[in-house]
Structure 1
């Protein structure tokens, strides 16, 4: 029987509740400029809020961004269905009220001045995006702000995901639909230019594998191989000076709820 090397194996399906996903996520965080850039922009948005009583973070993950934002609010509510992530969330935000329910069953006890829905819609069927955002808007206090964050469909990261899986996520049609239904609110769609940098091909491929898991890889037959993924990373992301850089530009939909509603 022919033995397959690791690189010839299919890319892994990374369960967001599993250890492999957490290791890949940590590797990504160690090499990306996402947190400092997004935190700076989030801080600017928070400073414009008329009130900073309640923060609601939907899909709070390990709580790094929740902890950063919560310093500006009197109370913090976080929704996080993953038990493994909730353990880290409890350490990062010990005073937060943490709801373990999936997003479609969550029931926050009060409206929030800032509702943060970041990189969650990948795990929601696209047919349910509008309903999900409408629920988040219902949880936003009058005069408050809802933030919806997703990868830009033309980012190098998402072009890679589309190449291997066919998926393409785009906030723009959703933003247009919400604006049509709720013209009384204020809207803006911003783009943040972000990059992951890796010193070697192995790390770059591991993070590329994490990135293409925005698709439901378990439904692909066959799944792309690590050999093909490594070749793509080498061809598209190698730097002339050595190392690798993968752009992962993200879009931020800012909905400022009308002061009276």
Structure 2
């Protein structure tokens, strides 16, 4: 095992209920184009649905995207196991039914015309992905859509996470497996090119640390040092004008469930 020096400063394991996570998340939101670009694409998907009776958002977080999607639907059901996130979720979506159970125990009240599973699979063991997404597909109404969103494995963000932790997530094998198992449905995998930008190195490093936390850092021994992360950010994300840009391209898997009689 590697020996830490007295002046080492390992990366923090960020708890979603903690102040450090909130600080980094707010920095990320302030500097990324993710919300406007993903919300625009999600609106296009919703507008193509035959029915908009119920939205089911699995792992809704603090509810910004839930609120955006919910305005299109008669009813919104949001699943969020984190108590810290649920408080903000209820403020963002006061009319939503909020369910606190984890995904493997939750029982939604009925099938949904849109099931949204965004940036949740990081917290699910890869061997359980087919079962988790299969359950989400079971909760999708005939003719409705299931959306699964995850970082693209070749994005600068994920290359950084893999460099420091060895972790690499990829939706493509899951999409292939679902297609083989449920060929009646329609499948599409697309990428959204997104970027985080800041003029400050310290903010870029905090956001990079937030991004690396997609890995289960409690299982990483020894933890990478923040000085090494800062050097990586400087080497890979610095721009000629002195600013920093971290690409975090996302994959979006859309499964349109076959309608009745298919």
Q: Shorter-normalised TM-score: what interval? A: over 0.9
Extract unaligned runs of 5+ from structure 2.
Answer: none
1:75-114 pair list within 5 angstroms: 75-114=75-114
Deviations 1:199-245 (A, max 9, x none): 11100000000000011111111100000000000000001011100
Determine helix, strand or coil for the equivalent of 1:105.
Answer: coil
Residue aligning to 1:128: 128
Q: Distance in 2 between matches of 1:178 and 1:23?
A: 37
Q: Distance in 2 between matches of 1:185 and 1:9?
A: 49
Residue aligning to 1:239: 239
Q: Distance in 1 between matches of 2:145 and 2:104?
A: 20
Residue aligning to 1:25: 25
Residue aligning to 2:36: 36
Question: Is the 8 Å Cα contact of residues 53 and 113 (structure 2) preserved in structure 1?
Answer: yes
Determine helix, strand or coil for the equivalent of 1:21.
Answer: helix
Determine helix, strand or coil for the equivalent of 2:204.
Answer: helix
Number of residues of Structure 1 aligned to a counterpart in Structure 2: 257
Question: Is the 8 Å Cα contact of residues 55 and 73 (structure 2) preserved in structure 1?
Answer: yes
Deviations 1:15-66 (A, max 9, x none): 2232321221111111000000000000000000000000000000000000
Determine helix, strand or coil for the equivalent of 1:154.
Answer: coil
Question: Is the 8 Å Cα contact of residues 113 and 145 (structure 2) preserved in structure 1?
Answer: yes
RMSD: 1.0
Determine helix, strand or coil for the equivalent of 1:208.
Answer: helix
Determine helix, strand or coil for the equivalent of 1:98.
Answer: strand
Determine helix, strand or coil for the equivalent of 1:87.
Answer: helix
How far the C-alpha of 1:3 sits from its partner, in A, is 5.5
Q: TM-score, normalised by structure 2?
A: 0.96
Extract unaligned runs of 5+ from structure 1.
Answer: none
Question: Is the 8 Å Cα contact of residues 179 and 187 (structure 2) preserved in structure 1?
Answer: yes
